[in-house]
C-alpha cells in the first residue's frame, strides 16, 4: 500500500502542508535481536492496553475514549522533539487554511515553553500587532482560563474563532512588574507575506514575514514593481528582510532562493536512511539580473528563513547582516491519518545548506553582526533563546549556540542593520569594510561591528 504524505518545514511556532510525494513500503528482514525487540514492543503495547482499560473503568468520571487515545498519541509525539505533534481533524484543516495564507484569529505566531504560550512574533497589521503584543511575551490565560496543561494546538484553537468576537489575553512581559491584560477582536487574517518599499531613492527593500503559498509570487511581483519604480539603471540593489520570520513551507524557501540564483544546490534534506536524501537545485533566471543583495536576519529568523539565508550565503550571492538565526534545521512531514482522523506532524529529516552544513541548534552566522540599540524598558526581551534551548531538540555535532538578539526598531531611522545594508549597497566603507561584496566572491574577514544595547 502506498500512502501520500506532505513535507513541511516548520518554524518554532507553526507550519503547513507542502509538496506531496509517495513513500514506498520497505521490505523488512528481521534477525533474532530484531524479533526480540519487536516482542518487547508488543509487551509494552499490551501494557498500554491494560492502562487504557483501567482508566476507562476506574477513573472518577467516565472519560471520552477518543480524547484518551488522542492524548496518548499526542504525548508520544511531543516526547520526540519540540516540532513533532498530533493534529486532530480540526487542527489539520486549520493548518491547511493557514498554508493558503488566510485564516481567522489574532495574527500571532506562538510556541510552547514550560507549559505556557510564548509569542514568537505578531504578524504585521493584525489585531495582535496593533494591540502591542510583542515577541517573547508569555501568554498565561485566555479569557481567564489558564493555558497551563493545554497543548499548543489546543491553545491556538482557543485563540481562533469567528470574526468580530473578542478574547482576553493575560500576558507576562519581562521588565513589567504586573501581568498585562489585552482584549483583542478576532479578524480575518490575510497573511500578506511580502511587503516592499523604496529605500534612499535607489534601493529596493523587501520584507518577507512568512513562507506560505503566496510568498514566491509576492516576491516576484515586488521585485518587478521596485525595478520599474526605481529604474533598472538607478537601482543599487535589494535588501531582503527575514528578521523575525518564523518560517513555513519548504517549497517556498526553495523557490525564493531560486529567484536570486542561476544554478547550484539550494538545500539538501537527509532522513534516517541514505536513500531518502533529496537535493534541490536552482534553475537559470535571477529575477534581480545580478543586482547586489543584502539579507537581514536575527534570532527570530527560523527554518525556511534560514534555508534562504544559508543558500545565498554559501553561494556568495548575498551578504548576511544582523545576528545569528534561530537554528532550526529539521524538516517535518504531515502524514494524514484518513478522513476525520487528523494527521501526524513528524520530524523526518534534517536539512543542510549547499556547503553541507547543518544549522540545527546553531543557526546561520551573519557575515556582519549588527546589534541594535535597545530602549532600556525593552532590554530584557531582546534575545531569543533559539532551538538549542528547546527541551528535546535534535542534537548537533560540535558546540550548540543558544540565543541572539531579535529586536527590530519600529522606526527605520533607528535600524542599524538596515542602515548598514544601505551603506554596503552604496559602497560606503565603515568598520565592516571587509564585508563580502553582495553577489561577489570574497568572504568576510573583518571584525564584526557591534553596538552597545
- Which are the catalytic amino acids? 303, 314, 328
182 Cβ contact partners less than 8 Å away, ≥ 6 residues apart: 131, 132, 133, 168, 169, 171
Contact 101, 213 (CB under 8 A): yes
Positions of E strands within 223-262: 237-241
Taking the C-alpha atoms of residue 370 and residue 368, their distance in angstroms, rounded to an integer, is 6
- In 3-state terms the chain splits into helix, strand, coil percentages (rounded to 5) of 30, 25, 45
Taking the C-alpha atoms of residue 447 and residue 437, their distance in angstroms, rounded to an integer, is 16
Classify strands 368-369 and 319-322 as parallel, antiparallel or unpaired. Answer: parallel
Residue 191, C-alpha cell as written in the block: 497573511
133 Cβ contact partners less than 8 Å away, ≥ 6 residues apart: 108, 119, 122, 169, 171, 182
H or E element, residue 182: strand 180-185
Please list the residues that pair with 336 across neighbouring strands.
343
Positions of E strands within 292-403: 293-297, 319-322, 330-336, 343-352, 368-369, 383-384
What is the number of other CB atoms lying within 10 angstroms of the CB of residue 131? 17
Taking the C-alpha atoms of residue 151 and residue 111, their distance in angstroms, rounded to an integer, is 10
Question: CA-based Rg of the chain, rounded to a whole angstrom?
Answer: 23
- In sequence order, which ranges of 111-170 are alpha helices (DSSP H)? 127-130, 152-159
Amino acid at each position: 500500500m502506498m500512502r501520500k504524505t506532505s513535507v513541511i518545514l516548520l518554524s518554532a511556532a507553526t507550519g503547513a502542508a507542502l509538496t506531496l510525494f509517495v513513500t514506498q513500503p520497505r521490505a523488512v528482514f528481521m534477525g533474532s535481536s530484531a524479533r526480540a525487540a519487536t516482542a518487547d514492543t508488543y509487551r509494552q503495547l499490551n501494557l498500554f492496553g491494560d492502562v487504557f482499560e483501567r482508566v476507562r473503568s476506574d477513573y472518577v468520571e467516565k472519560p471520552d475514549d477518543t480524547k484518551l487515545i488522542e492524548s496518548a498519541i499526542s504525548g508520544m509525539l511531543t516526547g520526540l522533539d519540540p516540532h513533532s505533534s498530533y493534529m486532530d481533524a480540526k487542527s489539520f484543516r486549520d493548518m491547511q487554511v493557514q498554508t493558503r495564507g488566510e485564516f481567522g484569529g489574532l495574527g500571532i505566531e506562538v510556541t510552547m515553553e514550560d507549559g505556557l504560550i510564548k509569542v514568537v512574533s505578531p504578524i504585521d497589521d493584525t489585531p495582535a500587532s496593533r494591540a502591542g503584543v510583542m515577541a517573547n511575551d508569555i501568554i498565561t490565560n485566555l479569557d481567564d482560563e489558564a493555558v497551563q496543561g493545554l497543548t499548543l494546538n489546543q491553545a491556538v484553537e482557543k485563540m481562533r474563532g469567528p470574526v468580530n468576537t473578542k478574547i482576553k489575553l493575560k500576558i507576562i512581559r519581562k521588565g513589567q512588574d504586573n501581568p498585562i491584560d489585552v482584549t483583542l477582536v478576532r479578524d480575518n487574517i490575510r497573511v500578506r507575506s511580502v511587503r516592499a518599499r523604496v529605500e534612499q531613492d535607489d534601493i529596493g527593500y523587501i520584507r518577507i514575514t512568512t513562507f506560505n503559498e503566496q510568498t514566491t509570487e509576492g516576491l516576484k511581483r515586488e521585485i518587478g514593481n521596485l525595478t520599474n519604480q526605481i529604474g533598472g539603471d538607478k537601482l543599487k540593489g535589494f535588501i531582503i528582510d527575514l528578521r523575525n520570520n518564523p518560517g513555513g513551507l519548504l517549497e517556498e524557501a526553495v523557490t525564493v532562493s531560486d529567484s536570486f540564483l542561476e544554478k547550484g544546490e539550494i538545500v539538501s534534506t537527509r532522513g534516517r536512511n541514505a536513500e531518502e536524501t533529496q537535493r534541490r537545485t536552482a534553475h537559470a533566471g535571477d529575477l534581480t539580473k545580478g543586482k547586489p543583495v543584502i539579507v537581514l536576519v536575527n534570532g527570530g529568523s527560523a527554518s525556511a528563513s534560514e534555508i534562504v539565508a544559508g543558500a545565498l550565503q554559501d553561494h556568495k550571492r548575498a551578504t548576511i547582516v544582523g545576528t545569528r538565526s534561530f537554528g532550526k534545521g529539521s524538516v517535518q512531514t504531515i502524514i494524514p491519518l484518513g478522513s476525520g482522523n487528523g494527521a501526524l506532524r513528524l520530524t523526518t529529516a534534517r536539512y543542510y545548506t549547499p556547503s553541507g552544513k547543518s544549522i540545527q541548534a546553531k543557526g546561520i552566522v551573519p557575515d556582519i553582526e549588527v546589534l541594535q540599540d535597545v530602549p532600556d524598558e525593552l532590554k530584557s526581551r531582546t534575545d531569543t533563546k533559539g532551538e538549542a534551548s528547546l527541551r528535546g531538540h535534535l542534537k548537533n555535532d560540535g558546540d550548540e549556540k543558544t540565543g541572539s538578539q531579535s529586536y527590530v526598531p519600529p522606526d527605520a531611522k533607528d535600524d542599524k542593520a538596515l542602515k548598514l545594508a544601505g551603506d554596503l549597497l552604496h559602497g560606503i566603507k565603515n568598520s565592516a569594510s571587509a564585508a563580502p561584496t553582495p553577489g561577489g566572491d570574497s568572504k568576510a574577514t573583518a571584525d564584526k561591528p557591534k553596538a552597545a544595547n
